[in-house]
């Protein structure tokens, strides 16, 4: 189930295959290593393995805890998107406890999550991803492309103010570029927006099952809204800058659509609950899931397979494959049937038992601490290695295809998503349209990110207006009490910044009997499963062409790094490169390039 068809053999040269690895590409949820074989004669990656060298174990030590602590504990899974875990955990708990938060509490949670998307996507795209497309990097890897960029007018110069594509690339230069520095300011403002709603970034202090602890004074929402309006000029410019740069890459490097391209297998679990529809009852999950302001869905080969959260939940399978764990299928299940009476598979997260089995890494056997989540498609009988498209690509694709979302600022058309933003300080009211692309590849994952920032800003406007209407009407209730049940099950579905996030909870004797969070990392970074299917990182890199002009001796792996980063694998803060039989070419510990634009060879 690889990404693309085999390349034509005609005209191929005698292979010149070199082993190259980048390990670690560190990240919040673990240490990521990418091991490849590169054929420099035919300019392509022939093999890829994605490894993680860190075991976390949250599913192990959650057992026996008070379930009401789950949101606070699981937020520590990640130092970047911990609030997404708290929110998702609360969703699962609310299902298990049978409680629904008041409308204002739901708006406050949605406003906090919208601010998180604005913050995280901005800092990742503009301060991490764009370093791979900046003047210094392109000069070091594709000087011919930079020369063309100097001669190419930027189509949206009238919006963002940069005359040529090369001017944009200079604005992306780390530490010095104008866009790089402005993004840091926007990230500060959006983090303040988050803290107004959720108390503390990134481990919320005011989110609880049943509601929130945020004081709903009018100034809370006006302070949020004033900051949001200050970001809109940058949001509008970002969409246009991204389109200009990525369209240029397609034009300057014919065939670049193959970089990071894999078969379209996208998963989205939906985001932002509609308080009028969502009662958190499992029996009604299909109905209220379709009312989420990002529509859930599984997309295979461009077609919508399902948007039913019950089907999505029941189809989840946790496969071991090439990971360092012992199997649990012969143990007693925790859940045999869901609340609707449907059978629950032994490999479903409700029934999973985590039994770590440390061992030596073996690329012909087990080589990663990441398991292999798959979605079982009963129609085809296949275990699909879904990816998240870095989060925004799957969210926009699913919302567009479903055609269900229609708000004052957002319209899903069945083939696109239209996003309208009001007049801001310097720019007029503008409407952007994200159209379903031809490919699920590196550039489209990156392109979707600023569009979803605009989407998040538009939804934040709506949530803020609705919250202020409630406060003006005197409806300021923010919490509903509940009783902790002796037994219960729950599942929460949400979108972390990087994509699909689900929490699966089993309660017995008022304690956690089993708890499994499944964030986007296991889906995207999974190794080969028991059926031999590579995980999304592996699949996207393996088989992709190499456009970098450098040879093996000064190779930076820029096309590979662009592909891996397009999935948003958190903060890459150190890269090691190896050639052949372990010869180290270069080592760098800078988060970007280091001083002086660092055009050293080691960083992708």
Query: Across the strands, what pairs with 416?
Result: 435
Q: Are residues 167 and 47 in contact, defined by beta-carbon separation less than 8 angstroms?
A: no
As annotated, the binding site for Ni(2+) includes 78, 81, 570
Q: Are residues 505 and 93 in contact, defined by beta-carbon separation less than 8 angstroms?
A: yes
Q: What angle do CA 467, 468, 474 make, to 5 degrees?
A: 95
* Euclidean distance between CA atoms 504 and 540, whole angstroms: 29
* Euclidean distance between CA atoms 574 and 588, whole angstroms: 6
DSSP letter (8 states) at residue 470: H
Is cis: bond before 520, omega within 30 of 0? no
Find, among 46, 238, 225, 104, the residue nearest to 159 by Cα: 238
* Euclidean distance between CA atoms 526 and 515, whole angstroms: 20
Q: Report the 3 state secondary structure along 493-561.
A: EEEECCEEEEEEEEEECCEEEEEEEECHHHHHHCCCCCCCCCCHHHHHHCCCECCCCCCHHHCCCHHHH
Chain centroid to CA 107: 22
As annotated, the binding site for Fe cation includes 573
* Euclidean distance between CA atoms 344 and 317, whole angstroms: 10
Cβ neighbour number for residue 596 with a 10 Å cutoff: 10
* Euclidean distance between CA atoms 547 and 558, whole angstroms: 9
Q: Are residues 457 and 264 in contact, defined by beta-carbon separation less than 8 angstroms?
A: no
* Euclidean distance between CA atoms 261 and 43, whole angstroms: 16
Tokens 């937020």 found at: 75
Residues listed for the chain: 604
- Tokens found for residue 14: 């005698």
User: Helix, strand, or coil here: 30?
Assistant: strand
As annotated, the binding site includes 78, 81, 570, 573, 576
DSSP string, 272-318: S--TTT----GGGHHHHHTTSSB--EEEETTEEEE--HHHHHHTEEE
* Euclidean distance between CA atoms 567 and 446, whole angstroms: 8
Sheet strand arrangement including 316-319: 316-319, 372-377, 382-384
Instruction: Output Rg (C-alpha) for the chain, integer angstroms.
Output: 23
Q: What angle do CA 144, 560, 53 make, to 5 degrees?
A: 150
C-alpha distances out from residue 604 to 284, 555, 593, Å: 46, 9, 9
């Amino acid at each position: 189930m690889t990404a693309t068809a085999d390349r034509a053999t005609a005209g191929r040269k005698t292979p010149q295959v070199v082993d190259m690895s980048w390990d670690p590409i560190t990240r919040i949820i673990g240490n990521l290593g990418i091991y490849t074989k590169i054929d420099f004669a035919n300019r392509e990656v022939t093999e890829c393995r994605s490894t993680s060298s860190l075991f976390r174990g949250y599913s192990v030590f959650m057992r026996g805890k008070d379930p009401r602590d789950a949101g606070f504990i699981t937020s520590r899974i990640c130092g970047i998107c911990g609030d997404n875990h708290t929110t998702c955990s609360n969703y699962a708990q609310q299902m298990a406890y049978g409680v629904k938060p008041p409308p204002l509490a739901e708006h406050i949670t949605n406003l906090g999550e919208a601010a998180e998307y604005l913050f995280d996507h901005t800092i990742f795209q503009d301060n991490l991803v764009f370093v791979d497309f900046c003047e210094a990097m392109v000069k070091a890897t594709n000087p011919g492309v930079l020369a063309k960029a100097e001669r190419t007018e930027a189509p949206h110069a009238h919006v963002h103010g940069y005359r040529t594509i090369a001017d944009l690339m200079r604005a992306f230069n780390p530490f010095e570029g104008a866009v790089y520095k402005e993004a840091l300011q926007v990230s500060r403002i959006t983090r303040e927006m988050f803290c107004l709603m959720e108390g503390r970034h990134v481990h919320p202090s005011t989110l609880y099952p049943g509601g929130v602890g945020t004081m709903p004074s009018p100034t809370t929402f006006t302070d949020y809204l004033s900051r949001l309006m200050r970001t809109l000029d940058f949001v509008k410019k970002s969409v246009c800058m991204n389109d200009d740069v990525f369209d240029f890459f397609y034009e300057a490097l014919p065939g670049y659509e193959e970089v990071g391209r894999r078969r379209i297998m996208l998963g989205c679990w939906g985001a932002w609950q509609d308080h009028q529809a969502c009662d958190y009852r499992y029996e009604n999950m299909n109905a209220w899931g379709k009312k989420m302001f990002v529509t859930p869905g599984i997309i295979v080969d461009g077609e919508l397979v399902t948007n039913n959260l019950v089907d999505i939940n029941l189809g989840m399978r946790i496969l071991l494959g090439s990971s360092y764990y012992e199997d649990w299928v012969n143990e007693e299940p925790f859940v045999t049937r869901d609340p609707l009476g449907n059978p629950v598979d032994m490999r479903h997260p409700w029934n999973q038992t985590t039994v770590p089995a440390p061992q030596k890494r073996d690329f012909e056997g087990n080589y990663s601490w990441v398991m292999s989540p798959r979605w079982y498609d009963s129609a085809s009988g296949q275990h699909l290695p879904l990816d998240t498209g870095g989060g925004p690509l799957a969210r926009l694709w699913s919302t567009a295809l479903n055609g269900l979302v229609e708000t004052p600022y957002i319209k899903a058309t069945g083939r696109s998503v239209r996003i309208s933003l009001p007049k801001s300080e310097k720019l007029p009211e503008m409407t952007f349209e994200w159209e379903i692309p031809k490919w699920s590849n590196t550039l489209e994952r990156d392109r979707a990110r600023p569009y979803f920032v605009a989407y998040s800003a538009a939804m934040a406007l709506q949530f803020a207006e609705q919250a202020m209407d409630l406060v003006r009407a005197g409806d300021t209730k923010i919490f509903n009490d509940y009783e902790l049940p002796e037994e219960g099950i729950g599942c929460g579905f949400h979108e972390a910044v990087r994509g699909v996030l689900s929490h699966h909870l089993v309660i017995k004797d008022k304690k956690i009997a089993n708890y499994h969070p499944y964030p986007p990392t296991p889906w995207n970074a999974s190794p080969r499963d028991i059926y031999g299917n590579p995980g999304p990182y592996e699949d996207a890199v393996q088989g992709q062409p190499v456009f970098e002009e450098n040879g093996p001796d000064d190779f930076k792996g820029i096309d590979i790094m662009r592909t891996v980063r397009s999935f948003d694998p958190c903060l890459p803060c150190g890269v090691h490169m190896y050639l052949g039989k372990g010869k180290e070419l270069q080592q760098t510990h800078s988060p970007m390039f280091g001083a002086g634009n660092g055009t050293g060879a080691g960083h992708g």
